[in-house]
Amino acid sequence: MNPVIKTVLQRLGLGLLTLFAVSVIIFSTLELLPGGFAQAILGQGATPETVANINKSLGLDRPAVTRYFEWVGGAVQGEFGISFASAGSGWGSSNARHVSDIIAPRLYNTFFLAAMTAIIAVPIALALGLLCALYRNSWFDRIANALTLTTIASPEFFVAYILVFFLAVKLRWFPPLSTISDTTSFWEHIYKAVLPSLTLTLVIIAHMMRMTRASVISLLSSPYIEMAKLKGLTPKQVILRHALPNAWAPIATVIAFNLAYLVVGVVVVEVVFTYPGIGQLMVDSVSKRDMPVVQACALIFAATYILLNLLADIVSIVTNPRLLHPK
């Protein structure tokens, strides 16, 4: 078997094993939390009898192992069970809603925000990284590094509030809150998502830019780069034709990490702007003790992170010539 295909299959198998382990951790951690949904909605009026009746109606009286395998089996088919919060009023009545129906529109909003940010941030970060490597130690390089270090050191919510103060309160260019509904048009969705997207862009662009710069600079001292310079190629040609293609492995890795962050780490940004994404849904579900929704959100976050890291590994394997031949 081709060594590249073999390595890719090994990475895929390791990813599935990791996802299985993460699912066990998610389920076990939520099971060990004190209290429960019944205690949360009944409050001080909770009695052992009423708590037991609610748990029985929700199927929580069954063994945890049985419920785990039912949950995993349903998750593989895209079914995460019934939301406790929607079933709370009727206990199995028609008011109950499937978790997948609740998550689907929120997941779309989160992916919309992540895609919008990636389209802006990735090209800018790569361009800035290449320019900083091309004009190393220049004023442009120093200013860019100082600005990126500032954004890295600043918390997300601080960057968000600064943007709201200047762009929403002072200049009134964008709305301070990104409230989206099913009736919101595509262009209005983009307009209302500008501030959270700009916040995420400023946060992730620094990591990608600095990694691109470091990767290209580390390759500029290689013998084949010296040979390219001796052949009379310009610095731009050296970087674009020789250094950049060999720097794709670490660049792809950091891009994958930041794209995963756009989906997994948007909780703070969504809460600040009240953006109806999966991050805010998870926070609301935790406060309501709606465990099926929390489990589904956590599993989606984990699967997204693992999948993007697998893609980064595959890109690194394909772009690394040493893996194209058996040892």
Q: Which of 211, 217, 197, 224 is nearest to 255 (CA)?
A: 211
Q: Say if CB 100 and CB 79 are below 8 A apart.
A: yes
Determine the pLDDT at residue 90: 45
Q: Which of 15, 18, 24, 17 is nearest to 295 (CA)?
A: 24
Considering the domain boundaries, does residue 155 fall inside one?
Answer: yes
Determine the pLDDT at residue 89: 45
Q: Tally the domains of the chain.
A: 1
Reported as a single tens digit per residue, the pLDDT across 5-59 is 777 788 888 888 988 899 899 888 877 776 666 666 666 666 777 777 777 777 7
- How many angstroms separate the CA atoms of 41 and 172, rounded? 41
- How many angstroms separate the CA atoms of 307 and 299, rounded? 12
- How many angstroms separate the CA atoms of 159 and 189, rounded? 21
Considering the domain boundaries, does residue 225 fall inside one?
Answer: yes
Determine the pLDDT at residue 291: 83
Determine the pLDDT at residue 27: 86
Considering the domain boundaries, does residue 68 fall inside one?
Answer: no
User: Six-digit token pair at 96?
Assistant: 């109950």
Considering the domain boundaries, does residue 63 fall inside one?
Answer: no
Considering the domain boundaries, does residue 20 fall inside one?
Answer: no
- How many angstroms separate the CA atoms of 142 and 131, rounded? 12
Helix ranges, the chain (H) = 3-31, 37-42, 48-58, 64-76, 84-87, 99-134, 139-153, 156-163, 186-192, 194-219, 223-230, 235-237, 244-246, 248-264, 267-272, 278-288, 291-319
Determine the pLDDT at residue 41: 64
- How many angstroms separate the CA atoms of 108 and 143, rounded? 37
Q: Say if CB 201 and CB 117 are below 8 A apart.
A: yes
Q: Say if CB 159 and CB 202 are below 8 A apart.
A: yes
Assign 165 to helix, strand or coil.
helix
Considering the domain boundaries, does residue 12 fall inside one?
Answer: no
Q: Please tell me the total number of residues recorded for the chain in this structure.
A: 327
User: Six-digit token pair at 274?
Assistant: 């009240």
- How many angstroms separate the CA atoms of 293 and 100, rounded? 9
Residues with pLDDT less than 50, the chain:
89-92, 326
**Residue 168: domain span:** 104-324
Q: Say if CB 217 and CB 133 are below 8 A apart.
A: yes
Q: What angle do CA 321, 324, 327 make, to 5 degrees?
A: 105
State the distance between the two ends of the chain, measured CA to CA, in whole angstroms.
13
Considering the domain boundaries, does residue 52 fall inside one?
Answer: no
Q: Which of 57, 35, 109, 29 is nearest to 278 (CA)?
A: 109
Considering the domain boundaries, does residue 222 fall inside one?
Answer: yes
CA 104, distance to chain mean position in Å, is 16
User: Six-digit token pair at 155?
Assistant: 């918390």
CATH at residue 187: 1.10.3720.10
